């Protein structure tokens, strides 16, 4: 087919006959989920890391189960399980309080699912980072009579940051790419809209390459910011390697 050899760029136009606007909307959805999921994961991770390091034996074992399951089971399976189980449990809980079933928005469900998966990963990253903080610094803070929360806020969290940033930045990149898996449960993020656009127009290569370029741009822009953040966090450190 000779007509296909020339790329039909008008398919990427932003307004209605073109699919560019739809693609960008999907891209925005992906970024929203990635940011939300990463933030939720970070919150879970801070709690999980402290629970694993300083918690009682039962809490520690439960957290170990959580991180083991998430690290041993494919994200795709976890996303399906959490997506169905999460919405189902919430509705059953609401029914218990005799409130009618609510329609959970795809965005919320997506953030929840990515967040739970990311939570296990960042638990492991943060635990390693906290363990890398010299024990003397935390002991010194305690010796000053700081309360545990103050130690956390003033010493442990800032001191572990340089150790945690490489791992956490990788997790952010993983979060952006994991959003693509939500296509399987039918959430209209970038990968799914790309497939719909490609299926409708039959211009498969054009749309998948365009989506790939968007993902790649996100990664590269993230890398620039991560580099800046890392330099900022590592100031005062002796240069390694």
Partner 1 sequence: MTDQTTHAVAYTPEDLPTARSFFQPHRIVMMLVFAAFVICVAVFMRWDWLPRYLPRLGWGILVSLVMLFSTSILGFLLAVPIGLAQVTGPWFFKLPAKVFCTVVRGTPLLLQLWLLYYGLGSLFPQFPAIRQSFLWPYLREAWPYGVAALTISFAAYEGEVMRGAFAGVPAGELEAAKAYGMSRWTMFRRIWLPRAIHRALPTLNGEAVLQLKSTPLVATITVVDVYAVISKVRQETFLTYEPLLLLALIYMCLTGILVVAFRTFENRIPTRGA
Interacting residues with partner 1 (CB under 8 A): 1, 4, 57-58, 61, 68-69, 71-78, 80-81, 84-85, 88, 121-122, 124-125, 128, 166-167, 170-171, 173-174, 177-181, 183-184, 191, 194-195, 198-199, 202, 204-205, 208-209, 211-212, 215-216, 219-220
Nearer to partner 1, 25 or 142 (CB): 25
Q: How far is the CB of 91 from partner 1 (least distance, A)?
A: 13
Nearer to partner 1, 57 or 145 (CB): 57
Q: How far is the CB of 184 from partner 1 (least distance, A)?
A: 6
Whole-number Å distance between alpha carbons of 25 and 33: 12
Q: How far is the CB of 103 from partner 1 (least distance, A)?
A: 18
Nearer to partner 1, 39 or 196 (CB): 196
Q: How far is the CB of 236 from partner 1 (least distance, A)?
A: 21
The answer to whether the CB of 11 falls within 8 A of the CB of 18 is yes
Q: How far, in Å, are 41, 109, 110, 111, 217 from residue 188 at the CA level?
A: 22, 12, 10, 13, 20
The runs of H, that is alpha helices, within 133-189 are 135-143, 148-151, 157-178
166 burial class (0-12, 13-18, 19+ CB within 10 angstroms)? middle
Cβ neighbours of 45 (radius 10 Å): 26
**Number of residues that this document lists for the chain:** 241
Nearer to partner 1, 156 or 176 (CB): 176
Q: How far is the CB of 157 from partner 1 (least distance, A)?
A: 18
């Amino acid at each position: 087919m000779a007509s296909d050899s020339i790329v039909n760029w008008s398919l990427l136009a932003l307004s209605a006959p073109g699919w560019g606007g739809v693609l960008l909307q999907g891209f925005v959805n992906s970024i929203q989920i990635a940011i939300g999921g990463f933030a939720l994961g970070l919150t879970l991770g801070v709690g999980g890391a402290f629970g694993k390091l300083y918690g009682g034996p039962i809490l520690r074992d439960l957290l170990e189960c959580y991180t083991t399951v998430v690290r041993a089971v494919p994200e795709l399976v976890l996303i399906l399980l959490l997506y169905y189980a999460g919405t189902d449990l919430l509705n059953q809980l609401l029914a218990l309080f005799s409130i009618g079933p609510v329609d959970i928005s795809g965005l919320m469900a997506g953030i929840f699912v990515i967040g739970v998966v990311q939570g296990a990963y960042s638990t492991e990253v943060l635990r390693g980072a906290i363990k890398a903080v010299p024990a003397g610094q935390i002991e010194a803070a305690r010796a000053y009579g700081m309360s545990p929360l103050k130690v956390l806020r003033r010493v442990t969290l800032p001191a572990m940051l340089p150790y945690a940033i490489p791992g956490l930045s990788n997790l952010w990149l993983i979060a952006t790419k994991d959003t693509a898996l939500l296509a399987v449960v039918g959430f209209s993020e970038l990968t799914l809209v790309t497939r719909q656009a490609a299926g409708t127009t039959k211009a498969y290569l054009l749309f998948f390459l365009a989506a790939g370029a968007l993902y790649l741009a996100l990664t590269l822009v993230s890398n620039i910011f991560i580099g800046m953040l890392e330099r900022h966090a590592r100031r005062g450190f002796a240069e390694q390697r």
